[in-house]
Amino acid sequence: MRRRPQMPRLAWEKILWRTILVTLFSVLVSLVISEILLSTFSGGMNGTGAATAILIPIVLGAPMIFYLSLKNFELEQAYKRLEASAARDSLTQCLNHGAFVARTSEILKRTSRQRGALLVIDADHFKSINDRFGHETGDMALKQIATIIRASVRRGDLVGRMGGEEFGVFLPDASATLAHAIAEAIRVNIEHFHFTPNGTHCPLTVSIGGITFDMPMSFGDLFRLADERLYKVKNTGRNSIEMAPIDDTVSDQRNLAHAV
């Protein structure tokens, strides 16, 4: 039997206050309407009429208001859980591609001090893991890599699965030194993890491309530049990190354009 999630105290207080205020308003409306009707069709409101006008909204209205407020809160919570679930990759529990892009873009737009880093992480030789051990073991490897990445970053950093064996990490307000330290921690922690499917040692390593920035940037530009760094790592040995500040990357591209 599924247990109903426990409501926080603040939610109960909100529901109770809403019930009280709406009930008081209903009593006031009931008194006004009763006074108008009784004054029109009889000699005015007496004690019995006033008591009836007060008690009916309290007895009938208050429980209904409380019930509807409670159900409204439960619907809000269910919607939040559904929204959170829709934003997560079902295998790794990281943000999915769309949610990662959207949340990173939102931070880039609203942050007054534009500084940070974007890492693109790719699991090395992942196809061989699937070929040797099967897709179920490959999924286990991805889950473990995702767990290590999340454990290696700061609270407030974003981790997303970009697709396949590729992950993205956004480090808001991180200096170049801190971003490189986090990237190295991710790489080392994954390399040192003993992954032994069916008792057979299977080494896990990742390649990381990163870009640090201190100016307004779009997600698309950051990802493209970080992805270029990742491919440099892939083409020169894997299990390594290639990072650059945005100024150096832009300078490299300008030099290449002039050379061409």
What's the CA gap between 116 and 168, in Å, rounded? 14
Q: Which of 165, 184, 191, 228 is catalytic?
A: 165
**DSSP string of 115-134?**
-EEEEEEEETTHHHHHHHH-
Q: Give the number of other Cβ atoms within 10 Å of residue 181's Cβ.
A: 13
Q: Are 201 and 147 in contact (CB under 8 A)?
A: no
Three-state DSSP class for residue 161: strand
Query: Tokens 């390593």 belong to which residue?
Result: 205
The length of the chain in residues reads 260
Does the annotation mark 242 as catalytic?
no
Q: Are 216 and 114 in contact (CB under 8 A)?
A: yes
Write out the H or E segment, with its range, that includes residue 3: none
Both tokens of residue 22? 């709406």
What residues act catalytically? 165
